[in-house]
Amino acid sequence: MKIQQGGEHFSGVVSLPFGKLGIRTGVGVVNELCYLPPHFEARAPQDATAELVAYQVEQYCADADYRFTLPLKPAGTDFQRKVWEAISSIPRGGVRTYGELAKYLGSAPRAVGQACGANWFPIVVPCHRVTAAGGLGGFANSDDPHGYLLGVKRWLLAHEGSSEYAWQQTTLL
C-alpha cells in the first residue's frame, strides 16, 4: 500500500470509522486505494467509479459481510496476485499468519508480507486478515504499534468479528 501525500492526486477521499481512504481511478477502473494519515481532508468523489468505491466501502463499514464488486485495474506481479488471491479466500472474522500463507504458497513468510504491503486495493483484498505468528504483526509496511495503520488493522479485524483481535480495537482519529 503506497501512501501519497498529495490529496489532489486522488479521485476522492472518504472518511470512514477507522480514518481516511484515498481513491484513485482511471477510466472505469479503480487504480488504487490508500489508507491515509489523519491530516488528509475528505474530498467528494470526482467520477462515477470513485462514487462506486465510496458507496461500497461505506456499505462494508455498515455490514462486514458486504461483498465488493469493484472494477479493479490489474496490478502486481504473478506472485503478488497469488498472495492476494489467497488472502481474498480468508473468510470474514478469520486470520491467517504470514507463515501459513507462505506454506500454502510454497514461499517464505517475508515474501508474503512484502506482497501484503504491496496490495493496491486494501480493504477489498483484505490483507488486514494476515497476522504475525506471535500477534498482530505489521500492516502496510508499518510495525509502529501506535501508528494509524495498525489502528486501521485493529478496527477492521474487530469490525469483521475476529475475536482474537477485537480487544485491541482502539478509538481512532
Strands (E), the chain: 12-16, 19-25, 30-36, 96-97, 130-131
Q: Which of 34, 61, 116, 127 is catalytic?
A: 127
CB 56 within 8 A of CB 154: no
CB 38 within 8 A of CB 21: no
Beta-carbon contacts of 151 under 8 Å, excluding residues fewer than 6 positions away, are 18, 19, 170, 172
Asked if 127 is an active-site residue, the reply is yes
| Residues that are catalytic | 127
